[in-house]
Amino acid sequence: MNPSPIARRFAVALFAAGLTLSACTSSAGDSGDAGGGTFAVWDPYPQFDGGSQWAKVVQDCGARAGVEVERQAYDTSDLTNKVLLAAQQGVAPNVLVVDNPVVSTLAEAGVLKANQDTGVDASQAAPNLLAAGESEGKTYGVPIGANTLALYYNKAVLAAAGVDPASIDDWASLDAALAKVAAAGKKGITFSAIGTEEGTFQFLPWFWGAGAQLTDLSSTQAVAAVELWKSWVDKGYAPNSVIGNTQTTSWQEFATGEYAFAENGTWQLGNAAEAGFEHGVIPIPARTGGVAPAPTGGEFVTVPVQDDQGREATAAKIANCLTGPDTVQATDTALTYVSAVAAVRERQVADNPALAVWADAVQAAKGRTGDHLGTRYPRISQPLWTAVQAALTASKTPADALKDAQAAAASAK
């Protein structure tokens, strides 16, 4: 017997996400009636236990909706698999908090309900962040907040090299700063160029900042971005270790106090405060000036398809509470995110001026699955990180590596 269309969509979604079948033992909660019963909320934050601020926010939003909430937390890599299998079995959670690049995969698989059908309100979210949740002309969920990338710098290293960080506003001025740092006998910049999604994530600000588009990996703008990174390795401004660095190991290099710059994210703010040296943060500059678009990290709050529209409506109330402008600052504080709501970002910066750079970076950021890429993104990302690796190891020229990457992305099914 041929599989049904919905079964085929689940199979395709599992394949696109690189997932394998496994048992799903978690229940999505009692069905109850539309206005009551237990509502299951699944999220990718196992680091937060039941006594955490995040858990308290979830419980409070359940109480505001008049229901009890049962929260389940899974590692990000496991959550998509579990949701797809649970949806197949008819036991999907009522509210799902999921990494933003996965939203289009789940939407196309028929797992998620569109906002217009549930009453989820995304009107306050910044359009550049909301784009990751758009598929086939509909929007699924609301960004709970965002993290992204910028350049941390070591104040003492820059001072010793005579570099004013405020002068760095394009690639030329950053290159000049790195030259001065090297001349002063210090190390320049560290980042993650590993052959995984982390490598693509870190490369995208330079790729987009050059004016390149993910639909054309072999453009002259794309080549310029790869040539920039390669020049840093060739000149010794960046260590050879970047080829294998994760974002964690590149941060560890910066934490030695020997590097002028590190490309990393908002999630390192706590570690930066404990680094033992004074630091600052500047946006990643675009090639000819201004702030480069960096990829957004962070999750969406979504409502999976249920058999009962009343329960979907109640789930939407919980989602609206978690992301609404009157409550989301507590959510973003718990998750150390910059808010997707402009007015809330302003309040965050007023409370903590150090977040100003991050607010600017989020305002300029882009979703990886945006520009209508959806589930095509993984088939583009892998050839891109492969090309960067090939260029940095000198196995191919940047132009040849990206030409091959474009051919691979175009032929991927």
3-17, 164-178, 306-320, 366-380: range with lowest mean pLDDT:
3-17
Lowest mean pLDDT among 14-23, 43-52, 194-203: 14-23
Would the pLDDT of 108 be above 80? yes
pLDDT of residue 326: 84
Spans of all domains in the chain = 5-146+297-364, 149-295+373-411
In whole angstroms, give the CA distance from residue 81 to residue 73.
13
pLDDT value of position 35? 52
What value does the mean pLDDT take over residues 62-82?
93
The pLDDT of residue 27 is 38
**Residue 94 DSSP code:** S
Q: Which of 189-193, 211-215, 324-328, 387-391 has the lowest mean pLDDT?
A: 324-328
Q: Specify the long-range contacts of residues 390-398, CB closer than 8 Å, at least 24 apart.
A: 391/226, 391/227, 391/229, 391/230, 392/193, 392/229, 392/230, 392/233, 392/242, 392/243, 393/243, 398/223, 398/226, 398/227, 398/230
Whole-number pLDDT of residue 412:
81
Q: Is residue 33 very low, low, confident or very high in pLDDT (cuts 50, 70, 90)?
A: very low
pLDDT band at 2 (very low <50, low <70, confident <90, very high): very low
Distance from C-alpha of 77 to C-alpha of 90, rounded to nearest angstrom? 21
Residues 250-275 have a mean pLDDT of 94
pTM above 0.85?
A: no
Tell me the average pLDDT across 313-321. 97
What tokens does 189 get? 């910049």
pLDDT of residue 335: 85
Contact of 103 with 126, CB cutoff 8 Å = no
Say if residue 7's pLDDT is above 80. Answer: no
- The topology under which CATH files domain 149-295+373-411 is D-Maltodextrin-Binding Protein; domain 2 (3.40.190)
32 pLDDT band, cuts 50/70/90, is very low
Q: Which residue has the tokens 């909301």?
A: 130
User: Which two structure tokens, joined as six digits, stand for 198?
Assistant: 């982390």
User: What is the pLDDT confidence band of residue 209, given thresholds at 50, 70 and 90?
Assistant: very high
Judged against a pLDDT cut of 60, whether residue 15 lies above it is answered with no
Can you read off the two tokens belonging to residue 364? Answer: 């300029």
pLDDT at 21 over 80: no
The reported pLDDT for the residue numbered 23 is 32
3-state secondary structure 136-160: CCEECCEECCEECEEEEEEHHHHHH
**413 pLDDT tier (thresholds 50, 70, 90):** low
User: Superfamily for 5-146+297-364?
Assistant: Periplasmic binding protein-like II (3.40.190.10)
149-295+373-411 has the same fold as 5-146+297-364:
yes
Q: How many other CB atoms are found less than 10 A from the CB of residue 319?
A: 30
Distance CA 289, CA 210 (A): 10
